[in-house]
Structure 1
Amino acid sequence: MADYTVIRSRRRTIALEITRQGTALVRAPLHAADADIARFVDSHRAWLDKHLAARQSYMAAHPEPSAEQAALWRRQAAEQLPPLVRLWAQRMGVQPAGITITAARTRFGSCSGKNRLSFSLSLMAYPPDAIEYVVVHELAHIRHHGHSPAFYREVETYLPDWKRRRDLLRP
Structure 2
Amino acid sequence: MSIPSAPETAAPGSLPPYELIRSDRKTLSLQVTREGRVVVRAPRFLAESAIRRFVREKSGWIARQLERQRQRPPRPEPTAAELAALKARAKEQIVPLVELWSRRTGLVPTGVKITAARTRYGSCSGKNSLCFSCFLADFPPQAVEAVVVHELCHIKEKNHGPRFYALLEGYLPDYRARRALLP
Please, what TM-score do these two structures have when normalized by structure 1? 0.68
Q: 2:158 aligns with which of 145, 151, 162?
A: 145
* Aligned-pair CA distance for 1:79: 1.4
Report which of the two structures shows the higher radius of gyration computed on alpha carbons.
Answer: 1
3-state secondary structure, aligned to 1:71 = helix
Alignment: residue pair count:
136
1:57 equivalenced with 2:58 (yes/no): no
Letter of the structure 2 residue corresponding to residue 63 of structure 1: R
Q: % of aligned pairs identical?
A: 45
1:126 equivalenced with 2:139 (yes/no): yes
Going from structure 1 to structure 2, the CA distance change for 1:142 and 1:54 (only over 3 Å counts) comes to closer
Q: What is residue 83 of structure 2 aligned with on the other side?
A: 70
Q: What is residue 172 of structure 2 aligned with on the other side?
A: 159
Going from structure 1 to structure 2, the CA distance change for 1:72 and 1:163 (only over 3 Å counts) comes to same
3-state secondary structure, aligned to 2:17 = strand
- Give the root-mean-square deviation of aligned CA atoms: 2.8
- After superposition, where does 1:1-171 map in structure 2 within 5 Å? 13=12, 16=17, 20-21=34-35, 54-58=68-72, 60=73, 63-67=75-79, 68-170=81-183
* Aligned-pair CA distance for 1:125: 1.3
Going from structure 1 to structure 2, the CA distance change for 1:56 and 1:154 (only over 3 Å counts) comes to same
Please, what TM-score do these two structures have when normalized by structure 2? 0.64
* Aligned-pair CA distance for 1:141: 0.5
Quick one: distance in 1 between partners of 2:162 and 2:91? 31
Letter of the structure 2 residue corresponding to residue 57 of structure 1: Q
3-state secondary structure, aligned to 2:114 = strand
Letter of the structure 2 residue corresponding to residue 21 of structure 1: E
Runs of 5+ in structure 2 lacking a partner?
1-7, 19-31, 38-63
Q: What is residue 5 of structure 2 aligned with on the other side?
A: none
